[in-house]
Chains A and B, each alone.
Chain A
Amino acid sequence: MSDDASAVDHWVLTTRLADYVAWGRKNSLWPMPMGLACCAIELMAMVAPRYDVARFGAEALRFSPRQADMMVVAGTVSKKMAPAVKRIYDQMPEPKWVIAMGACASTGGMFRSYAVTQGVDEIIPVDVYIPGCPPRPESLLEGIMQVQRLVEERARAGRGAPPLSAPSAPAAAGR
């Protein structure tokens, strides 16, 4: 360590506060499990040891909206349930993200019915849509990783930095 600059680079990590906060946020996304139908079973499977969402820091499912960062709408949102979903979303503190998990929550799926909202994005803004009926727990992990990217993007956009170079739009038609 001869000159000071390299010593600083070697021993000190520098970052911006917004990035640091985003790093903390994205690695401790506490989900609000809005389990409304069979998708919730896969949601539970994702938390269980086999898929272990604790590896992404999102294992603390908060059933109280005030303590949650990310709502996972898992299942059919009936018109009767919609006001409750909306209210719980409103009770969550900013910043907050929403995952629409599965066909029903995303678009209404096969329930083209007067009793079902045709997608939860009719009542609350959705960040990530996950196809499947129900999606595999891996798909949900994929969605959570996408939310983590969005958290980072928001911090970068907030300080006028260019967006990330889309690291992994998950390789479609891979296998």
Chain B
Amino acid sequence: MSVIGKPVKRPEQKGLLARTYLPSVLKGMWITLRHMFRPKVTMQYPEETWALPDRYRGLPALVRDDSERVKCVACFLCQFVCPPKAIHIEAQEIATGVEKGPKVFDINMLRCIMCGYCEEVCPEQAIFLTREYQTVGLSREQMIFNKDRLLEMGGVRPDPIRKWSRLAPPAGAPERGHEPAPVTQGAAR
């Protein structure tokens, strides 16, 4: 049976100098030396951080409008669209009588994949992705952020529409409130 293909030749024996490996060692050290004078690329992380782009997508958070009102109306769109189902909402009536508000709003940050669908789908512009990326957790429970924590992270975003200020509050209701409705309105649950 004939051999298919042609085997390569063994390389010829190197000279005496090459067999001491000194030229190769020096060549390698020369490369190391050259790199010492190149610009340094390492980011000294905890002291020095990266300049994040404006649209960086970090952990999501809820925001308030400029009159400190929770903008979320508990429409459940973000919970519905969330690919990993990281959002859990429970709604409640609020004192204005026309909208709902979130009673419970939990985001499991370990489920969250920071895709930004919630921000995109939100009709009230109440949920945003912050630029926070440095949070780590020691337990799963610790990384489920509740409504208060999310509002604290989100802070205030001024809203040019001012929907709430155009709304006449029902008689007896406080001026602006995102609290549960008075029991007298009596929605049976």
Contact = CB atoms under 8 A, between A and B. Distances in A.
Interface of A: 49-52, 55, 103, 106-110, 112, 119, 121, 127-133, 135-136, 138-139, 141-143, 145-146, 170-175
Contact of A173 (B138, B143, B152): B152
A131 B112 contact: yes
Given A142-B134, A146-B136, A103 B43 contact: no
A56 B111 CA distance: 28
Contacts of A175: 52, 131-132
Given A128-B136, A129-B136, 13 more contacts: A50-B41, A55-B44, A110-B84, A130-B136, A130-B137, A131-B59, A131-B112, A133-B112, A133-B113, A142-B134, A142-B135, A170-B136, A173-B154
Given A103-B84, A129-B139, A109 B113 contact: yes
A106 B43 CA distance: 27
9 contacts: A106-B110, A107-B108, A133-B115, A138-B49, A142-B135, A142-B136, A171-B134, A173-B152, A175-B52
A132 B133 contact: yes
Contacts of A132: 114, 133
Contacts of A109: 84, 110-111, 113
A146 B111 CA distance: 20
B84 A173 contact: no
